[in-house]
Amino acid sequence: MANGKNIILVGVGGQGTILTTKILSAGLTELGYDVKMSEIHGMSQRGGTVTTQLKYGDKVYAPNIGDGEADVIVGFEKSEAARAIPYLRIGGTVIADEREIYSMPVLTGAAEYPHGILDDLKKTVGEDHVKVIDAFAKAEELGNTRVQNIVLLGALVKVLGIEGIDWVELVGKMVPAKVRDLNIEAYKQGFAMV
């Protein structure tokens, strides 16, 4: 696809991946791109992996992204970022949060959480292509862990180099009014983290 990118946002149900994708789509549309996003609902909401895919460019046809076709993967959870690797284009970028959320096999002791997975990932795709961001910790520091998604959005906008519109205003417009200032701060902090 000319002049565009394929992005995958992946996390665990309830982390706000869908809102992030909505804001990103609105911004990209404002920038004049054709945008398609695709999300999978249903059982995945019950604590399973949640994936949303977004494609933008001069003209986008298919909404979904195949293996090796994603330019950027944004992982809201460390192991989920790594799990999405088959989608990554050679030379693509991973933005991964340090956040660890244990799935049921880990909680019950049936499996072990791969704490060092991002280091392994760096070895595979290259140090420069894995941007590890402690967005959850930043959100905690800002006083509300729920803005983790907007911290990551800030980082993503920077990585994509799509600063051509007023993202701060857009974020302010698209989040609930009572947490607007907090989200705007989260966006700014995220932008500064990469």
Partner 1 sequence: MSGNEAVARGAYEAGVLWASAYPGTPSTEILENTAKYKEIHSQWSNNEKVALETACGASIGGERAFAAMKHVGLNVAADPLMTIAYEGVNGGLVVITADDPGCHSSQNEQDNRNYATLGKVLMLEPSDSQECKDMFKLAFEMSERFDMVVLFRMTTRVCHSKSIVELGERQEPKIKKYVSDKMKFAMLPASARLRHIAIEENLEKARAYAETSPLNIVEYNGDNKVGIITSGISYQHCREAFGDTVSYLKLGITNPLADNLIKEFCEKCETVHVVEEGDGYLEIGVRHLKLDCTGKELITCQGELTAEIVKTSLTEAKSEPTYDFPQLKDIPARPPVFCAGCPHRGFFYSMSKFRDKVVGMGDIGCYGLGWQEPFNCEETCVCMDAGTSTTIGMANALKNQDDTRKPLGFQGDSTFFHGGFTGFIDAVHYNTNAILCILDNDITAMTGHQLNAANDTGLMGEPVHKLNVTDMIYATGIDKDRVAVVDPMNQAEMDGALKHAIETDGLQVIVTKYPCALLKWDIQQRAGRHCVIDADKCVGCKMCMKVACPALAFDDGKAHIADPAACTGCGLCMQNCKVGAITKVGE
Nearer to partner 1, 25 or 183 (CB): 25
4 binds partner 1 (CB under 8 A): no
Q: What tokens were used for 32?
A: 């004049």
Nearer to partner 1, 84 or 171 (CB): 84
Phi, psi of 58 (to 5 degrees): -65, -40
83 binds partner 1 (CB under 8 A): yes
Q: Which of 47, 143, 166, 192 binds partner 1 (CB under 8 A)?
A: 47
Q: What tokens were used for 27?
A: 């911004």
Dihedral sign (CA 169, 173, 177, 180): negative
144 binds partner 1 (CB under 8 A): no
Segment 19-38, which members bind partner 1 (CB under 8 A)?
Answer: 25, 29, 34-38
Per-residue buried b or exposed e for 55-77, using 16+ beta carbons within 10 Å of the residue's own CB: bbbeebeeeebeeebbbbbbbbb
164 binds partner 1 (CB under 8 A): no
193 binds partner 1 (CB under 8 A): no
Strand partners, 96: 75, 132
Q: Which of 8, 72, 121, 184 binds partner 1 (CB under 8 A)?
A: 121
Interface residues toward partner 1, by CB under 8 A: 1, 12-13, 25, 29, 34-49, 60-69, 79-80, 82-83, 85-90, 102-114, 117, 120-121, 124-125
